Structure 1
Amino acid sequence: MKNKFAALSLLTVGLLSACSSTAPTAASPAAQERFARVALVPLEAGDTPQSLAQAVGGEVLGWNDAGCASEDEANCTAMIGMNQQLSAQNLNALGGRMVYIEPNKDMFSGGGTMTATMGGRINMWAGGRINMWAGGRINMWAGGQFSQLPENTALWKKIKLEEAQRIAPKLGAGVTVAVIDTGLDLQHPAFGGSLSDPSTWYDFYAGDATPQDEGVFGVGGYGHGTNVAGIVLQVAPGAKIMPLRVLGSDGSGDVVMVARAILWAADRGANVINLSLGSKENSKVVQNAIKKVTERRVLVVSSAGNSNLSKITYPAADAGGEDSGDYSMSVGSVDLNDVKSSFSNYSDKLKLMAPGENVYAPAPDGGMAAWSGTSMAAPMASGGLALALGQRLSSGELVERMSGNAADIYKISANKPYKDKLGEKGRLDLVKFLSSSGDD
C-alpha cells in the first residue's frame, strides 16, 4: 500500500518518510477504536492531549514528552489515531509541524500454516509428555530421542539441541521471552509454571488482561501464538513466556498494537521479544518502538515472511540496522535438508535460517499441532538466545555470535540461487553459538 498522504508535503505539514519521532508509551493501554491511520506529531510548548487531538482530528494514543525540556525531538512526540485525512483547518491548527502518517489497521500478519494435528486433547499430555515443561529438566532426551514430542526429534538434532541443553544446563532459567502474537491457550498444560506473572500479560487486540488465543481450530491464525510459545519452551524449557496478543483470529493486527506491545514487554522485564509476524510496509511507529527497547539491551527476533520473495518483511528487514544495532535478528526457514523452504522469503539483509517446517508444539484446547512458516523458525532463535542469557551471558554480542556461527548451507546445490541471501552464514547451530558465546 502506498502512503496516500504524500500530497501533504506540498502544504504546511510535511509527510516524513524517515521520521525519527518516538513510538508511543506503553502505559495503561485499553480497548480503543481501530483507526485507519496513525500519526506521529512533534510536541510544542503548551500542547495538551486534548488540544492536539482536536487539532489533528483524532485520538491521542501515546504521549512521550520525556525529551521536550532538553529539545530531544525523538522523545517529544504524540501518537494519534485518525480515520480521515488532514484538512486545511487541521493544517492551520498544527502550524507547520512536520507530521509522519502511516496506515495502521491490519498492517501486520502472523503468517504460517497449520500442517498437521494430532488427536486427543488434555489426555495426550498424560503419562509424562508434559514433563519437559515441569521444572524444565525431566527426561527431555532418552536414547537420542526427544522423548516429550518425538515428532520434533529430527528438527532438534539438526540444530543440536540436546548437546546445547547440556552446554546451557540452566535451560533459560531467569529469562523472559515475550511472545507478541495471537495470544496463547493460557490453560494449556504445556504452559503450567512457564508463564510470566499475570500482571505482565495483555491483550492489545481486545483491550483486556487476558491474551487468550481465540478462534476456530484449523482456521486462520488460531493457535499460531500457542505454537510459537511452545517452540520457545522446547528449546529453553527453563524460560518464562510473557503472552501478549496483537493479532486477531485471522492472524492480522494493527501497527499501534504491535508498537505498544513491544514497549510493554520491555517495561515489564522481557529479555527477548519474539515477533513471528511482519508487514510488507515499513512501519516507523513499530521501528521506533524496537529502537527504544534495543537501546535497553532487549533482544528482538523477527520472522522473514512466507511469500518466497527476494525481500523480507518488516520489521525483519530492519533487523541489525542502525536503529537496533546488535540486538535484533531476522530469521528465515529451511527444511530438514537445509534447503530453503519453498515459502521462505530471502534477502541479503537476512541474518539467519532455522528449520521451520512441520514443527510440533502445543495447540489450543490442550492439543498439539504442527505449523510451517518462518514464524516457526524465529522462536528457535529466540529460545537459543534465552539459553545463552540463562547462563548469564551478556546480550550485547549474542545476535552476531548466533548468526556468525551458523552452519554453512550455501554449499548445497539447491541453495546456490540464493547466494548470500540465506543468512550471514546459514542455519542455526546452537552448539557452535553457545560455545562461541563463552569466549568473551
Structure 2
Amino acid sequence: MGKKIRMESFSFTDREGEEKGPVKTMSRRAVLVLSLLCLFSATALAQLSSVGLLPTPPPPLSSPPIVGVNRFIVRDPAGLASIQNVCVVLGCNVSGGLDGSLGQLFLVTTPLFVDPSAFLGFLRSQPAVANAELDALLHVRQASGATPPPGLYDKSPVSYFGATVWNGYVSQPAAQIINLPLTQSTFSVTGSGIVAVIDTGVDPTNPVLSSVLVSGYDFTRNLQGGSERGDVTQSSMAVLDQTQPILVNQSSMAVLDQNTATMLQNPSYAAFGHGTMVSGIIHLVAPTAQIMPLKAFAADGSGYTSDVLRAIYYAVQNGANILSMSFSFPTYSQEMMRAARFANRKGVIAVASAGNDGSANWVYPAGYVNLVMGIASTANDDTRSSFSNYGEDYIWVAAPGEGIITTYPFGTYAAGWGTSFSAPFVAAGAALLRSVQPNLNEQMAAQALSHAKWISPDLGNGRVDLFQAVTACRASGTCN
C-alpha cells in the first residue's frame, strides 16, 4: 500500500502494511512552497531550477538597473535578513533597498514567467511582510501646447542673481501674475533651503542653474549626479542656430536648431528637458535656493514607483527641505503615502502637480491631501486651464501653467504647458517663505500659501499670490 498524505498532518503506511503513526504537522513554509510550485507549469519549473531558488544579496547602488523581471515593493520591518528568508521560501530575489538608512522597504523581483498577481498574494501571506505592492511603471503626464509665447523670442540679455538670462524668462507674464517682482523687492526674499526636483534630471551645464545645483542622484541608472544630458547623444544634439521656437514634444517648445529639434521629436525623448524646465521655474521664483536633481524618470517620461520612493527617501535623508514633484499617476500606493508621511514628519514640504486630464479625478502624489499640496493650472487671465484637473477637496492652490518660459538643456530656453509647470511655482514659493521662517514645515507653508487670489471652489484656495503669502507669513511670525 502506498503513502497517504493530508495537509494538516499526515501518517503513512509502509510496504508491509504497518501503520507508522502520525508524523509532525507540515510547516506553513512547506505548504507555501508546495502551493508556489503548483503555480508554475512544468516548463516554468525547469526555468526556475536554472535560475536558482536562493536569493542573492542586494546589489550595490552602482549596479545596472533591474530589467526583464517582475518587480514588487515589499515592506519587512525586520529588515534585510528577514526579507531574504522570505525569498528563500518563495523563490524571489531581493534586488535592493528603497528607503535608505531605514532598511525596511525593498525591491523584490521574480522571473517573468511567474504570475505577478498570484505571487503578490504569496508575499502578502507572509507573517514578516507588512505590505507588498506591484512596482508600477509611471509616466510623466503632460498637456498640449499651443503657440509660442512672445517672451520666447525676447533674447535680450539681463543679469539675474549672478547669471545672464533672457529678458523673456524673467519678465514673463506668469512672474507678474503671482506678484514675484513685488514680493522680492518689498520683502528682500530670494529663497533659501534645498528644493529636491524629482523628475527626468537636470542639465548640470546650464549656465543659469549650474551655480545652485547640489549633489543629486540618477535612480534610473544608479549613478551619482542626476543629469539628464546622458539621455541624448552629445555629438548629435548641439544647439547651432537658436533661431526659432520649435515644438519638441506635446507640452514644450524649445529654441533649438531644426536638426536637434527633429531628433528630440522622437517618442523616446518625449519628456527630455522636463526636469531642467521645472528647475528653471524654481530658480526664477527663488534664485538663491539650492536645487537637488533627482532623476527618477527616463527621457521618454517613464519611471518606476520604486525609483520615486528611493528619490523621496534620499531627498529627506540628504537635507532637502522641499519636494517638487511634477508627475502624477492614477492609482493609490500605500508605500508612496508612507514616504510622503515620512517627509512630513521630518518637516519637509511636499508639492505635486494635480494632473492634466481636465477632470475631477484624483491622481497621486497630489491626492495625499494634508501631506502634499496638489497644484492646478491657470491661464494668464486667471481661469482654470482646460487641461488641468480640479476639485475643491483635492486642489490646494493653482498657479500659471500655460506657455511658461524656462530653462532648457543645451543652455537655451523653452515654454511649457501643464500642471507640471504650475507646481514648481508653489514649491519655489515655499522656498521664499523659508527666507521668512527657516523652520517652515508643510502645515505652515500650506497655511501661508492659502492666502491666494480666489477664483472658484474647483481651484481650492485660489491662484497663488506670493505677496499675500509672504505678508501673511511675516504677520504671524510662524506662517500659521
Give the TM-score normalised by the residue count of structure 1.
0.76
- Return the alpha-carbon distance in structure 1 between the equivalents of residues 106 and 201 of structure 2: 28
Is 1:134 aligned to 2:165, yes or no?
no
Task: Point out the more displaced range, 94-103 or 375-384.
Answer: 94-103
Question: For residue 381 of structure 1, what is the amino acid of its counterpart?
Answer: V
Matches within 5 A, 1:203-282: 203-213=218-228, 214-215=231-232, 216-218=263-265, 219-282=269-332
| Partner secondary structure for residue 344 of structure 1 | coil
Query: What is the match of residue 379 of structure 1?
Result: 424
- Cα distance change of structure 1 residues 333 and 64 upon mapping to structure 2, 3 Å threshold: closer
**Count of aligned residue pairs for this structure pair:** 377
1:275-314 superposed matches below 5 A: 275-314=325-364
* Corresponding residue number in structure 1 for 2:53: none
The alpha carbon displacement at 1:92 in A equals: 9.6
Partner residue in 1 for 2:76: 42
Identity of aligned residues (%): 25
Root-mean-square deviation (Å): 3.4
Distance (whole Å) between structure 1 residues aligned to residue 414 and residue 147 of structure 2: 6
Q: Where do 1:5-404 residues align within 5 Å?
A: 28=61, 30-34=63-67, 36-44=70-78, 47-48=81-82, 50-56=84-90, 57-62=92-97, 78-82=106-110, 83=112, 84=114, 85=116, 91=122, 95-97=126-128, 100-113=131-144, 128-129=157-158, 131-134=159-162, 148-149=167-168, 152-173=171-192, 175-196=193-214, 200-213=215-228, 214-215=231-232, 216-218=263-265, 219-320=269-370, 324=371, 328-347=372-391, 348-396=393-441, 397-404=443-450
Counterpart Cα distance in 2 of 1:170 and 1:37: 45
Query: 2:466 — aligned with what?
Result: 430
CA–CA distance in 2 between the matches of 1:278 and 1:49? 29
Cα shift readout 1:250-300 (whole Å, capped 9, x = no counterpart): 112100000000111111111111000110111222221111111100001
- CA distance in 2 between counterparts of 1:48 and 1:60 reads 14
Rounded to whole Å, the distance in 2 between the matches of 1:53 and 1:183 is 33
- Distance in 2 (alpha carbons) for counterparts of 1:279 and 1:345: 13
1:421 to 446, 451, 458: 458
- CA distance in 1: counterparts of 2:306 and 2:123, whole angstroms: 26
Structure 2 contact 120–134 (Cα < 8 Å) conserved? no
Q: Provide the rounded CA distance (Å) in 2 between the counterparts of 1:428 and 1:154.
A: 14
Could you tell me which amino acid in structure 2 is paired with residue 295 of structure 1? R
Deviation track 1:84-132 (CA, whole Å, cap 9, x = no partner) reads 337689949965455533332422425245656799x9xx97x744x31
Q: Which moved more, 1:265-274 or 1:50-59?
A: 50-59
Indicate which of 389, 396, 405 corresponds to 2:451: 405
**Which structure 1 segments of 5+ residues have no match?**
1-10, 14-24, 68-74, 141-146, 411-419
Counterpart secondary structure, 2:181? helix
Q: For residues 281 and 306 of structure 1, do their structure 2 counterparts lie closer, same or farther at Cα, with a shift above 3 Å needed?
A: same
TM-score when normalising by structure 2: 0.70
Aligned-partner residue type, residue 211 of structure 1: G
CA offset at residue 164 of structure 1?
Answer: 1.1
Secondary structure of 2:432's counterpart equals helix
Q: Take 1:12 and 1:65, find their aligned partners in 2: how far apart are those partners?
A: 30
Q: 1:59 to 1:359 in 2, by over 3 A?
A: same
Report the secondary structure of 2:224's partner residue: coil
**Residue 296 of structure 2 contacts residue 308 of structure 2 at CA under 8 Å; is this kept in 1?**
yes
Deviation at 1:64, TM superposition (A): 6.8
Structure 2 CA distance for aligned equivalents of residues 339 and 302 of structure 1: 20
Residue 217 of structure 1 deviates from its aligned partner by 3.0
Give the direction of change, closer, same or farther, for the CA distance of 1:66–1:254 in structure 2 (3 Å limit).
closer
Matches of 1:421 and 1:249, distance apart in 2: 32
In structure 2, the CA distance between the partners of 1:185 and 1:91, relative to structure 1 (3 Å rule), is: closer
Instruction: Return the letter of the residue paired with 2:208.
Output: A
Structure 1 counterpart of 2:49: none
Change (3 A) 1:188 1:256: same
Contact 1:39–1:99 at 8 Å: present in 2 too?
no
Structure showing greater relative contact order (alpha-carbon pairs closer than 8 Å, 6 or more residues apart): 1
What SS class does the counterpart of residue 459 from structure 2 fall into? coil
Q: Find the aligned partners of 1:180 and 1:66 in 2 and give their Cα distance.
A: 19
CA contact (8 A) 1:110 1:221 kept: no
Letter in 2 for 1:338: D
Deviation at 1:63, TM superposition (A): 7.1
Q: CA deviation at 1:159?
A: 0.6
In 2, the alpha carbon distance for the partners of 1:44 and 1:193 equals 42
Q: Is the CA contact 2:71–2:107 (under 8 Å) kept in the aligned structure 1?
A: no
